[in-house]
Structure formats: structure tokens, C-alpha cells
Amino acid sequence: MHQGWPGLRYVELTGGPLDGLLLFSALPVMDDEQGLVIGPSCVRAFGVQLLVKSVGDTQAGARLGGMGVKELQERITALLPEVVEAEIEPESCPPWLRRPGRVECSGMWGTISAIYGALTGLILPEQAPARERRSLDVLLTYPDGRQQILEVDERQHFTAARALTLELYPAGVELGFDPAQWLACSQALTGRERGGGFAKPRPPLFPGEGGRHRQRAFRDALADLLPPQRGWLPTIRISDSEATALTSAADPASSLRALLHERGVPAPHLASE
């Protein structure tokens, strides 16, 4: 157990498919005869508590459903038809977010350029390289025509690079998640980023070791800051610990509905229980 900032503690699981997953709590982490009770923080919207037998227990993953990140994303996506009234497009991306340059960034160009410069020490080209491609976890299109992005953020989205981007967001920007929570999680994992393929260079925009971490953080910033410029609703983010909690809840659909309501899905487009 570690306490990295006032009022927020976390436990890191080891062993099984959830190796390295952090569970965050705004409440104390209590060690009793049955194990560690992680009281709600990331899962505070729907009041779920998680019981883990012990940190380091190889059965920890099985107790939380034995799900990897990809399966978590798929389970969230599978729940959406029960939760929202919308056209659901997994693994998609609007054209203006695939390779955004100065034109696509519009009024956010100054902020985006500053974020890129802080991440790399380089000048962001006004036109993105042709090789840049991406997809998002889910695009939602509501009956009234409004659209919204939904992303499930696994551990590699919480890094020093991500903390840096969040600190440079303009005051008052509309977001579909709690930036303070995301910043705290990113700061907690600073210096503990995964290596190998998670950190390999991604030239031409993100050369050098750690390039993939910087690219991922930059792309997350683009997905947060550009949609409102295009008239889209704020991008919703769900952390992997939140996804684990709600898919393990007694009523996963109700848990997801409550979270999405808190994060900004318009009430008229939430399916009735």
C-alpha cells in the first residue's frame, strides 16, 4: 500500500490478468481479517466496494472477474445498448481527429501546440504526417444528432506525460471525467511507466525512448480538447479500475448508467431501467 497524496490511497494488484492494476480510494484502505477493503473513489458514483484477498495474491484477478483490458473494453461496449439510446460505433474515429493539424484544432491550436512542445521540446507541424492514424474505443451518436466519445483508460494512460498534458488544460474546459482524479493517478504512476513496446519511439512526431507514452498522452489530450470545438459533447473517460468495479457489480448496467449520467451523457438519452 502507498499513500501518494492527501486523502487518496491505492493498492496495486499483482498476479493474474489484472497485474499492475491500481485501485484508488478516497477512503482509507482497511486491512482486516478478510483482506483489503477498497472504499469507493473511481467507483464512487455507484457505491461499489471491492474485496481483494491480499496484495500479491495470484487469485486477485480471478476475484475481480479475471478480465484483461481488452475484455473490459468489450464488456463496457456490450453493456451500452442497455444503458444509452444511441448508435454505438466501436473502434472508430471522426475524420477530424485522425490526423488533426492547425485547421482541425481551430481555436485550440495554441493549447495543443504548447502541450506538444512541453512533451517533446519540438514545434508541432501545422499539418499532421500522413502516417498518423488512430481509433477510439466508442463513438456515440444520439437520436438528436449530438455525438460523444467514450474511452476506457488502462494503466498506460496514467503516466508522467499524461500528468503534464492535464496540467496544461485551459481553465473551464468541458470534460467528461474528473481531471483531478486522472492527474492524481498519473502522478502516482510517474516513474513507473511500462517499458518495451509501451514506450518505443513513435517518429516522426514522438522520437526517442518513451515516444509511445508521449504519443498516447498527446492523443488523449486531442480527444479531450477538440470535440467541444466541433460541437460534440465532452469526451467521457472510464478508468480500468472503474470498469472492473462496474462489470463486477450486482447490476452492471445500472452501475454504468449511473456513471455515464455523472460523466455527461444527456439524461434523455439514458435508457430506462
On the question of a cis peptide bond just before residue 204, with omega within 30 degrees of 0, the verdict is yes
Residue-range domain boundaries for the chain: 69-240
Q: How far, in Å, CA of 44 to CA of 202, rounded?
A: 36
Distance set, CA 118 to CA 104, 108, 186, 189 (Å):
20, 15, 16, 19
Distance set, CA 162 to CA 117, 220, 235 (Å):
14, 8, 16
Q: Hey, how many other C-beta atoms are within 10 angstroms of the C-beta on 169?
A: 16
Task: Identify the band that residue 67 occupies on the pLDDT scale cut at 50, 70 and 90.
Answer: low
Top pLDDT among 102 and 23 is at: 102
pLDDT above 90 (res 151)? yes
Rounded CA Rg of the chain: 19
pLDDT above 50 (res 3)? no
User: What pLDDT sits at residue 197?
Assistant: 86
pLDDT digits (tens, 9 = 90+) for 99-113: 999 999 999 999 999
Top pLDDT among 273 and 148 is at: 148
Tell me which of 17-26, 79-88, 132-141, 251-260 is least confident. Answer: 17-26
